[in-house]
Amino acid sequence: MELEPNQPLGIFDSGLGGLTVASAIKQLLPDERIIYFGDTAHLPYGDKSADSIIYYSRKIADFLLTYNCKTILVACNTASATAFTELHRIFGDKALVIDVIDPVVSYVTEKFPASKIGVIGTKNTINSNTYTLKIREKNPGAEVVSMAAPLLVPMIEEGFIYDDISNAIIRTYLSNELLEGIEVMILGCTHYPIIRNQIRKYYDFRVEVIDSAEIVARHLKEKLASENLLAGSRQDEDLFFVSDFTDYFGKIGRMFFDSSINLLKSDIWK
C-alpha cells in the first residue's frame, strides 16, 4: 500500500500519557493531523498479560486504520515492549509502525555512553528488560538499573500531580537504593513526562531526566521526511478518542493543546 503525505498520524496509548507524545509532535509538526486513541477502559497496561496487551493493541491499530492513518505510533512503553513486533508484522505493509523505546535507546546511548542509566516504568515494561537489552546491544558496557513504579500511572490518571501525595510517591520510588548514583534517568512510560519537573527537582537537577516525548517526535519527523510523507499543508482537525470517558483526560488535553480538544468515546471492543 502506498502512503500519502496528507494521511493523518495514528497514535495510541493506554490512557492520557501518550498526549505528551502527541503534544510534542504537534509542536514540531503543526501541519500534521492527529488521530489519537486512549484506551482508558483498560488502563493501566502495566499489570495486564502480554496476550491482553497484544489484543488491545491490534484492535486499536485496526481502528486507526479506519481513519486511513499513515502511522501507528505506539505511544506506550508497555505496548511497545510487548506488542510492537506483532503490530509491525501485521500492519507494517499498511502504515509506518513506530515504537517509543528504540528512539530513546538510540538517543541515550549516543549522548551518554559512559553514564550510569536508570529506568523507571510499569511492571510489564521493566520485567520485559527491553530497555536494558536494547541499551546493552548498542553499548555492551553500559551500566543500567531499572525499577518498576506501578503507582505512578494511576496517580497521574487520577490527577494527583504537583501535590503532597504525588511528591510522597515519587520520593518513595526514587529514594530506592537501586537507583543510587544514576546520572541519567529514562522515563520509561509516556505518562511520566507530566511529572518530569518533580523528578528533576527530587534529584536537585543533577540527573539528566530524559523526555521521551520530544525524542520520539524528532524521530517521527526524520522518518516521515525520509519516506517523503511530511504533510505539505495544515490538515483537518485532530481527533481524540477514548474507550471510556475520564474527566482528567480532557483537563490534561487542554493543558497540552491550549484549547478544548475534540474528545470522543468509541467502544471498539464490540
Active site residues: 76, 189
Q: Are 207 and 180 in contact (CB under 8 A)?
A: no
Angle at 243 between CA 235 and CA 148, to 5 degrees: 100
Name every residue whose Cβ is closer than 8 Å to that of residue 97 and which is 6 or more positions away in sequence.
61, 71, 72, 74, 84, 87, 88, 91
Residue 7 CA, distance from chain mean position: 21
Cis geometry, peptide bond prior to residue 44 (ω within 30 degrees of 0): yes
Phi (first) and psi of residue 37, to 5 degrees: -130, 125
Cα–Cα distance, 241 to 12 (Å, whole number): 9
DSSP per-residue string spanning 120-132: EE-HHHHHHTHHH
| Residue ranges in 29-163 assigned as alpha helix (H) | 50-66, 77-91, 102-111, 123-128, 130-138, 152-157
Q: How far is CA 53 from the centre of its chain?
A: 15
Q: Which residue has the cell 493531523?
A: 33
